[in-house]
Amino acid sequence: MAHLNGASWLAADKPEDADLIIINSCGFIESAKRESINAVLAWRKLFPDKKLILAGCLAQRYADEIELAEADCLFGNNDLAQITEVASRLTGSAAAGTPVVPGQRPLLSLPGSAYIKISEGCNNRCSFCAIPLIRGPLRSRPIPDIVEECRQLIARGIRELCLIGQDIGSFGKTARDSADSQLPALLEAITRLDGQFWVRLLYIHPDQFPLDILDTISRDKRFLPYFDLPFQHGSTLILRAMNRQGNAESYLSLIRRIRDALPDATLRSTFLLGFPGETSADFHALLDFQAEARLDWVGCFTYSREENTPAYSMKNRVSKRLAAERKALIEERQTPISEERMERFIGRRLDALVEEALDPEEGLYLGRLFCQAPEVDGATVITSNTQLTVGDFVTGKIVARAGIDLDMRV
Ligand code: SF4
Same domain, 335 and 353: no
281 Cα–ligand 1 center, Å: 25
CA dist., res. 114 & res. 158, Å (int): 7
Same domain, 65 and 178: no
Same domain, 376 and 339: no
CATH code: domain of residue 56: 3.40.50.12160
CB 208 less than 6 A from any atom of ligand 1:
no
CB 125 less than 6 A from any atom of ligand 1:
yes
At 79 the pLDDT is 86
- Answer yes or no: is 103 within a domain: no
- Answer yes or no: is 28 within a domain: yes
- Answer yes or no: is 105 within a domain: no
At 102 the pLDDT is 53
410 Cα–ligand 1 center, Å: 41
**DSSP H or E stretch at residue 115:** strand 113-117
Kindly report, residue by residue over 200-219, the tens digit of the pLDDT.
999 999 999 999 999 999 99
Selection from 365, 301, 297 nearest residue 335 by Cα: 297
CA dist., res. 153 & res. 175, Å (int): 31
Give the position, in ligand 1's atom list, of the atom nearest the Cα of 167. Answer: 1
At 99 the pLDDT is 59
323 Cα–ligand 1 center, Å: 20
Sheet holding 198-201, edge to edge: 113-117, 160-164, 198-201, 223-228, 266-273, 297-302
Same domain, 87 and 200: no
Q: Whose CA is nearest to atom 8 of ligand 1?
A: 129
Look at residue 189 and give its three-state secondary structure: helix
Domain stops at, among 322, 343, 364: 343
Same domain, 68 and 137: no
Report the mean per-residue pLDDT for the chain: 94
- Answer yes or no: is 102 within a domain: no
Same domain, 52 and 197: no
At 264 the pLDDT is 95
Same domain, 219 and 310: yes
- Answer yes or no: is 258 within a domain: yes
Per DSSP, 264 falls in state: T
- Answer yes or no: is 24 within a domain: yes
CB 368 less than 6 A from any atom of ligand 1:
no
Same domain, 233 and 117: yes
Same domain, 339 and 399: no
Same domain, 127 and 179: yes
Domain ranges, residue 398: 349-409
Low-confidence ranges of the chain (pLDDT < 50): none
**DSSP H or E stretch at residue 393:** strand 393-402
131 Cα–ligand 1 center, Å: 7
Domain stops at, among 300, 327, 343: 343
Selection from 102, 99, 107 nearest residue 157 by Cα: 107
| Residue to probe by mutation, ligand 1, list 28, 120, 125, 131, most atoms within 8 Å of CB | 131
CATH code: domain of residue 382: 2.40.50.140
Domain stops at, among 312, 343, 374: 343
CA dist., res. 322 & res. 329, Å (int): 11
Give the position, in ligand 1's atom list, of the atom nearest the Cα of 122. Answer: 4
Q: Whose CA is nearest to atom 6 of ligand 1?
A: 126
CATH code: domain of residue 189: 3.80.30.20
Dihedral class, residue 81 (left if φ above 0, else alpha if ψ from -120 to 50, else beta)? alpha
90 Cα–ligand 1 center, Å: 35
223 Cα–ligand 1 center, Å: 24
| Residue to probe by mutation, ligand 1, list 28, 29, 119, 125, most atoms within 8 Å of CB | 125
3-state helix, strand, coil in the chain (%, to 5): 35, 20, 40
Kindly report, residue by residue over 140-154, the tens digit of the pLDDT.
999 999 999 999 999
Contact assessment for residue 218 and residue 137, using Cβ atoms and an 8 Å cutoff? no
- Answer yes or no: is 100 within a domain: no
- Answer yes or no: is 147 within a domain: yes
Same domain, 21 and 49: yes
CB 205 less than 6 A from any atom of ligand 1:
yes
CB 126 less than 6 A from any atom of ligand 1:
yes
Total domains in the chain come to: 3
Same domain, 24 and 133: no
126 Cα–ligand 1 center, Å: 5
